[in-house]
């Protein structure tokens, strides 16, 4: 019996395979397609996703295949070459105060997935099996039996757990009887992947998205390389365009009209007709089967929440599977996956739907769509489960979608503070990836005994030894700690327990998190 089978070789499945390997868990991944994504969808990696990749040791590699962060901007105009068009910058230069050691990155799936696949194959040699289809699944109380087919060869495999990361049309989700709820088909769209020399026309104003709005034509150029490779998204919610009757000539004419370049040479690569949805599975677990990524939740493209939500699913589930596999956590720890990740997925789906409907409404009224930041949803979401020991405090005030307020409240992501004046290492870099981390105040003498008393892997950092005095002052204040207090941080960077002062009852509460 193998520990874990992962079905689906997108960013969620590949990320889970990488993380499990780093945690010492063998995982077999099967993907029915022979190669990674050819269409450049899911292009924006959020700040939180980049923090996760940083913790996995992949931040530099992912950054190297993405677009420069100077391209994080949005253009609005009647055509791509409209001299009266406007550009809104959202990159680091425009928002230097975002509390993170990293930043959002433009990296489409056709660039990201080959990189992840190469890392997964190196870490899980012989177990990353593309061109292999799941043809049968039997779920029992103690595991699953899967039948796989590759090139006419059939193989049966027993696994303790199975993670379905097989996309929005997940066959596994249907097999185990889990339904999806939420709006579907709320927007009709056509994506046209094409090659054209548009880089020269946007060289002075590179963007992530170029929104085009003119009578009878509403869409956007989505940058792939901001040179010759482009994706044009045509929104067809009215009666102006019949997507089913468009031929190649029509597609070229649409691109030329949107670009404002009637003689533009266009090479069509491919196209997809799709409908936007915002749905979430009724539950994320069925016995030994877990849903992750688009198999568990589908968002509209507005806000860029979908792929990023799946990456966080993988980060959350991986350490729990590893803890149970290695025996330092009870199987009940896996029960916390659904109550932690499903509320985040629901909030992401709802916000993505609101942004889509707002865009449609603005198009009909002629007013520009309202926009708001999403740091609260991206960085400020928090968990409530048996893997978090609540301390009775309330979440920070503010808009839970737009506003992020650093806090040491249990369930929240550990706040980022630079450890040194050179800004090379963050508090997030102190988190031990293979166990829990105790960040102890400079006078927390009780912390020295913690490693001997708890029943799980624990790394202890005394803040006076790892942080400059000024950084320590900021961090203690943000986290609501005195010099004798401390934070227990989970392997996924979320705070499991907080004691502002010396814990009055020793460490029993902390010890029960994984039991």
Of 259, 276, 293, the residue at which a domain comes to its end is: 276
Q: Would you state the structure tokens that stand for residue 134, as one six-digit string?
A: 């799941």
pLDDT score, position 512: 79
Burial class (CB in 10 A: 0-12, 13-18, 19+), 474: middle
Is residue 75 located within the same domain as residue 209? yes
Q: Which domain CATH number covers 115?
A: 3.50.50.60
Is residue 496 located within the same domain as residue 468? yes
pLDDT score, position 240: 60
* % residues pLDDT > 90 (the chain): 79
Is the CB of residue 372 less than 8 Å from the CB of residue 359?
A: no
Reduced to 3 states, what is the DSSP secondary structure of residue 254? helix
pLDDT at 311 over 60: yes
Of 359, 376, 393, the residue at which a domain comes to its end is: 376
Global model pTM greater than 0.85: yes
Q: What's the CA gap between 33 and 41, in Å, rounded? A: 16
Write out the DSSP string of 121-171. HHHSTT-EEET-EEEEEEEETTEEEEEEEETTEEEEEEEEEEEE---TT-H
pLDDT score, position 359: 76
Most confident of 73-77, 116-120, 244-248: 116-120
Is the CB of residue 170 less than 8 Å from the CB of residue 291?
A: yes
Is residue 167 located within the same domain as residue 205? no
pLDDT at 392 over 80: yes
Q: Is the dihedral of CA 68, 231, 76, 236 positive or negative?
A: negative
Give the number of other CB atoms < 10 A from CB of residue 11. 27
pLDDT at 469 over 70: yes
Is the CB of residue 472 less than 8 Å from the CB of residue 514?
A: no
Is the CB of residue 412 less than 8 Å from the CB of residue 388?
A: no
Give the number of other CB atoms < 10 A from CB of residue 311. 26
Burial class (CB in 10 A: 0-12, 13-18, 19+), 74: middle
Is residue 115 located within the same domain as residue 168? yes
Q: Which domain CATH number covers 500?
A: 3.40.30.120
β-strand partners of 270? 193
Of 276, 307, 333, the residue at which a domain comes to its end is: 276
Q: What's the CA gap between 184 and 134, in Å, rounded? A: 26
69-73, 315-319, 501-505: which range is least confident on average? 501-505
Number of H helices, E strands in the chain: 14, 24
pLDDT score, position 369: 60
pLDDT score, position 426: 97
The DSSP symbol for 394 reads P
Can you state the angle between helices 47-55 and 306-326, rounded to 10 degrees? Answer: 30
Is residue 272 located within the same domain as residue 282? no
Q: 């993170």: which residue's tokens? A: 100
Contacts of residues 174-179 at CB distance under 8 Å and 24 or more positions apart, as own/partner, are: 175/137, 175/139, 176/139, 176/286, 176/287, 176/289, 177/286, 178/281, 178/282, 178/283, 178/286, 178/291, 179/281, 179/282
pLDDT score, position 239: 56
pLDDT score, position 275: 86
Q: Region 1-18: what's the mean pLDDT?
A: 97
Total number of domains in the chain: 3
Tens digits of per-residue pLDDT, 165-215?
999 999 999 999 999 999 988 888 889 999 999 999 999 999 999 999 888
**Mean pLDDT score of the chain, rounded to an integer?**
92
116-125, 348-357, 502-511: which range is least confident on average? 502-511
Tens digits of per-residue pLDDT, 355-374?
888 877 766 666 656 667 89
pLDDT at 511 over 80: no
Q: Which domain CATH number covers 230?
A: 3.30.9.10
pLDDT at 488 over 80: yes
Is residue 116 located within the same domain as residue 137? yes
Is residue 198 located within the same domain as residue 129? no
R_g over Cα of the chain: 24
Tens digits of per-residue pLDDT, 227-242?
999 999 988 766 566 7
- Residue 126 sits in which domain range? 2-65+107-183+278-376
pLDDT score, position 364: 66
Q: What's the CA gap between 275 and 234, in Å, rounded? A: 11
Is residue 90 located within the same domain as residue 191? yes
Is residue 479 located within the same domain as residue 416? yes
Is residue 163 located within the same domain as residue 214? no
Is the CB of residue 467 less than 8 Å from the CB of residue 479?
A: no
Q: Region 296-309: what's the mean pLDDT?
A: 93
pLDDT at 478 over 80: yes
pLDDT score, position 8: 97
């Amino acid at each position: 019996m193998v520990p874990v089978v992962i079905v689906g070789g997108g960013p969620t499945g590949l990320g889970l395979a990488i993380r499990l390997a780093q945690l010492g868990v063998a995982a077999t991944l099967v993907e029915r397609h022979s190669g990674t994504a050819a269409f450049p969808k899911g292009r924006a990696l959020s700040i939180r996703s980049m923090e996760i990749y940083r913790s996995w040791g992949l931040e530099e590699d992912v950054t190297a295949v993405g677009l420069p962060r100077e391209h994080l901007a949005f253009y609005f105009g009647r055509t791509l070459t409209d001299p009266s068009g406007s550009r809104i910058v959202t990159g680091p230069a425009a928002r230097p105060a975002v509390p993170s050691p990293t930043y959002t990155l433009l990296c489409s799936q056709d660039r990201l997935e080959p990189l992840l696949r190469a890392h997964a194959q190196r870490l899980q040699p012989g177990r990353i099996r593309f061109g292999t289809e799941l043809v049968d699944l039997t779920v029992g109380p103690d595991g699953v039996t899967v039948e796989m087919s590759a090139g006419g060869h059939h193989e049966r495999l027993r696994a303790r757990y199975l993670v379905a990361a097989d996309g929005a049309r997940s066959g596994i989700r249907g097999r185990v009887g889990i339904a999806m709820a939420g709006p579907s088909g709320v927007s009709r769209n056509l994506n046209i992947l094409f090659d054209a020399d548009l880089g020269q026309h946007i060289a002075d104003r590179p963007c992530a998205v170029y929104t085009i709005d003119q009578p009878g034509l509403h869409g956007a150029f989505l940058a792939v390389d901001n040179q010759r490779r482009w994706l044009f998204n045509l929104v067809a919610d009215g009666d102006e365009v019949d997507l089913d009757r468009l031929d190649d000539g029509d597609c070229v004419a649409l691109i030329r009209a949107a670009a404002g370049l009637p003689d533009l040479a266009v090479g069509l690569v491919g196209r997809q007709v799709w409908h936007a949805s915002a749905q979430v599975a009724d539950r994320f677990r069925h016995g030994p089967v877990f849903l992750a990524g688009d198999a568990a939740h589908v968002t509209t493209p507005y806000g860029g929440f979908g792929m990023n939500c799946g990456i966080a699913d993988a980060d959350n589930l991986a350490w729990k599977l590893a803890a149970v596999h290695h025996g330092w956590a009870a199987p009940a720890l896996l029960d916390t996956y659904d109550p932690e990740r499903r509320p985040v997925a629901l909030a992401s789906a709802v916000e993505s739907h609101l942004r889509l409907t707002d865009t449609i409404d603005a198009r009909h009224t002629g007013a520009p769509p309202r926009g708001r930041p999403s740091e609260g949803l991206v960085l400020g979401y928090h968990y409530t489960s048996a893997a978090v020991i609540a301390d009775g405090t309330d979440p920070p005030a503010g808009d839970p979608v737009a506003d992020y307020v650093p806090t040491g409240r249990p369930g929240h992501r550990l706040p980022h503070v630079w450890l040194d004046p050179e800004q090379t290492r963050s508090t997030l870099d102190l988190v031990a990836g293979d166990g829990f981390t105790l960040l102890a105040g400079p006078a927390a003498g009780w912390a020295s005994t913690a490693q001997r008393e708890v029943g799980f892997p624990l790394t202890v950092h005394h803040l006076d030894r790892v942080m400059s005095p000024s950084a320590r002052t900021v961090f203690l204040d943000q986290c609501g700690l005195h010099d004798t207090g401390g934070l227990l941080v989970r392997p996924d960077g979320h705070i499991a327990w907080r004691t502002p002062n010396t814990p009055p009852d020793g460490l029993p509460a902390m010890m029960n998190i994984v039991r």
